[in-house]
Amino acid sequence: MRGLHQLRRRPVRVADQQQVRPRLGIAPEGGDETEEDDDDEQPVPHRLTIHGGRGEGNPPLKSRCRDLTRRHLRGHQMHENVFSDAVVCRPLRSSPMRCERVGVVGTGIMGAGIAEVMATAGYEVIVRSRHETTAETTVMAIDKNLSRLVTKGRCTEDDKAATLERVRTTTSLRDLADCDLVIEAAPEDLELKRELFGDLGNLCRPDAVLATNTSTLSIIELAVAAFHPERVVGMHFFNPVPIMKLVEVIRGLATSDETVARTMALAEQLGKTPIPANDRAGFVSNRVLMPMINEAFY
């Protein structure tokens, strides 16, 4: 299974980051990184494990997890998530993203769902496919889903028509050059995605956000192919996109705070619940899901 294989990729450690930084134009961090024995320097899950969920003066595990969740819901970001080498919370000021035109690269189930959600929210959407026939199939899929909503009384015929008018298709990446945001939803092929981000990095405006819907591939490995790696971010929707509220916003090594904040704000404008994640194998959801699957099978 490709998904399980991808999740086995080694997380990006400090040594790997030092090698990647020069490729991204980031100055290496000074000093040697050494492991600390102090419990305070350990990640939160490790501290909870070695103390059995409790320590001297520590509240129970359930209470600490609840406190972390509440802190995040109050507008704080886990700058380094629970799977990283440190945990630091900081405020995340997400200003509304100036976004009028969105490009979607990929015409599969996820690409069609993302295009539908964007168009329903009022954005002009350009769906790019290698073949015109597959692009039209995507529009037909959106039409079919909206018709189902009309039948259920969840939207009107006028709403459906207005949404479809905001969707157009193309076979050329050049038509995405003026988009404020481009979301790549191509198959999980690293070389294919790197090629796409290389082309998009050269074609799109310097202030455009380049997002990937990948569920397993490293954001760093995609960012190095783009002209401005600081604007590359993971924006992982879940299937079916129009229904599922969760969106993972993944920060790569070079991703800027502004890019993350804009992406988080856009997800909220779509009516989604964004959660910040770092570039670790499986991000958040799949990293939690895989051990559960392993327990079920083994």
Question: Taking the alpha carbons of 180, 186, 189, 192 in that order, is the dihedral positive or negative?
Answer: negative
Q: Can you give the three-state secondary structure of the chain, one letter per residue?
A: CHHHHHHCCCCCCHHHHHHHHHHHCCCCCCCCCCCCCCHHHCCHHHHHHHCCCCCCCCCCHHHHHHHHHHHHHCCEEECCCCCCCCCCEEECCCCCCCCCEEEEECCCHHHHHHHHHHHHCCCEEEEECCCHHHHHHHHHHHHHHHHHHHHCCCCCHHHHHHHHHCEEEECCHHHHCCCCEEEECCCCCHHHHHHHHHHHHHHCCCCCEEEECCCCCCHHHHHCCCCCHHHEEEEEECCCCCCCCEEEEEECCCCCHHHHHHHHHHHHHCCCEEEEEECCCCCCHHHHHHHHHHHHHC
User: Catalytic site residue 131?
Assistant: no
Of the residues 5, 51, 72, 236, only one is catalytic, namely: 236
> Cβ distance 289 to 262 under 8 Å?
no
> Cβ distance 195 to 168 under 8 Å?
no
**Catalytic amino acids?**
236
